[in-house]
Each structure stands twice: as C-alpha cells, then as structure tokens.
C-alpha cells in the first residue's frame, strides 16, 4: 500500500516539476518570443504542408521557433533535406536535441532567429504569434532569396498574398496554413 502511495506521489511530483519547468522556461523568454508559446503543430498539419511544398535534395528548411523539432524530423523523413531549427525556450530546445539526436541532417540552435541570417533557406516554416507577423514579414523580405517559400501556421504575413491556403483535416486541425512564394 505504502509503495503504491509513494509511486503515485513520485509520478505527480515529476508531472508537477515538468509543468513548473515549462512555466519558468516560457516566462523567461517571453520578452523575446512576444507571445509565441511552446505549442506543437500536429502531425496532420505537418504532413499537409509537406505534401503542398515538395523539396529537393540539397535544399534547406529552417523552422524559426522549432519547439521540440518535430517539423524538422518529419521533413527529414519525407525529403531527406537539411534542416535548421532556432529555439529560445530551454525546455523545448533540450527536448528537440534529445529527439533529434543522431540525425545528421538536423541542426538545432539555442538562438534568437531575429538575429539570424536566413538568406540560405529555401523554405521557412513558422508557427508564431500575430504580434510579430508584421516585423517578420519585413525580415523575411530583407533576408530571403527569390523563390524561397514561407509556410506560416495560423497567422498570415501582413502585406503578402499567399500562393495557397491549406485547411487540413477535420475541425481540430482546420486552422489555416499560409504558403507564400517570395
């Protein structure tokens, strides 16, 4: 009986610790992420954008705010291309490093993407927050090479006309995914 109680308390403590770590890591980077919390894109939505944006070997996809790196892993699996992820949230970064361990095509950087040069990217993936989209549009316009594709989950890039708007799956995954060609 005692063992069971200790086991339940132990599991509860681990969950509480993880939640606390999430809250602290999120709060610490909030001034830089400006509201873009560590929330993951569903597999259905990743597969839908990958179907719509084919990539060729030698190309580079950059996820600006890569969370646990799931987009990078799916892209690698489907197209075998090189991927880079920027992440500021320490918890998400550690999870991404662990889950992407041993995958040569994936590079995860604990770094603010606003100070990164994105000019080599063929495809940019982002799932950020409305407050940053206007500044992001200006940065991408300045950085990206002609023909580069930008995939933005949920929030559009002000001043740009999407080439396609995807609405994958059922109502759960139905938020728009905007696809732009610069």
Interface ranges with ligand SAM (CB under 6 A): 29, 32-33, 36, 38-41, 63, 65-67, 70-71, 86-89, 92, 112-114, 127-128
Beta strands of the chain (E only): which ranges?
Answer: 60-64, 82-87, 106-110, 123-126, 149-153, 164-166, 177-181
Q: Which is nearer to ligand SAM, 93 or 122 (by Cβ)? A: 93
Closest approach of Cβ 8 to ligand SAM, in Å? 31
Q: Which is nearer to ligand SAM, 74 or 162 (by Cβ)? A: 74
Q: Which is nearer to ligand SAM, 79 or 113 (by Cβ)? A: 113
Residue with the CB atom nearest ligand SAM in the bound state: 65
Contacts of 43 (CB under 8 A, 6+ apart): 70, 74
Closest approach of Cβ 166 to ligand SAM, in Å? 14
Closest approach of Cβ 165 to ligand SAM, in Å? 17
DSSP 19-60: HHHHHHHHHHHHHHHTT----PPPHHHHHHHHHHS---TT-E
Of 175, 145, 135, 182, nearest to 49 by C-alpha is 175
CB atoms within 10 A of CB 29: 20
Closest approach of Cβ 117 to ligand SAM, in Å? 14
Q: Which is nearer to ligand SAM, 70 or 82 (by Cβ)? A: 70
- Beta bridge partners, 61, equal 83, 123
Q: Which is nearer to ligand SAM, 127 or 178 (by Cβ)? A: 127
Closest approach of Cβ 142 to ligand SAM, in Å? 16
């Amino acid at each position: 009986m005692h063992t069971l109680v200790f086991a339940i308390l132990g599991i509860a403590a681990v969950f509480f610790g993880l939640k606390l770590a999430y809250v602290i890591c999120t709060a610490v980077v909030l001034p830089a992420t400006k509201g873009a919390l560590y929330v993951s894109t569903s597999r259905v939505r990743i597969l839908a954008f990958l179907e719509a944006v084919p990539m060729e070997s030698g190309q580079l996809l950059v996820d600006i705010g890569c969370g646990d790196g799931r987009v990078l892993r799916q892209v690698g699996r489907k197209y075998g291309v090189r991927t880079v992820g920027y992440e500021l949230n320490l918890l998400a970064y550690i999870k991404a490093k662990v889950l992407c361990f041993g995958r040569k095509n994936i590079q995860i950087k604990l770094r603010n993407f606003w100070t990164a040069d994105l000019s080599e990217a063929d495809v940019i993936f982002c799932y950020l927050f409305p407050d940053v989209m206007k500044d992001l549009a200006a940065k991408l316009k300045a950085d990206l090479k002609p023909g580069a594709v930008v995939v933005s989950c949920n929030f559009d890039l002000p001043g740009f006309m999407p080439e396609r708007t995807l609405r994958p799956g059922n109502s759960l995954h139905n938020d728009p995914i905007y696809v732009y060609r610069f």
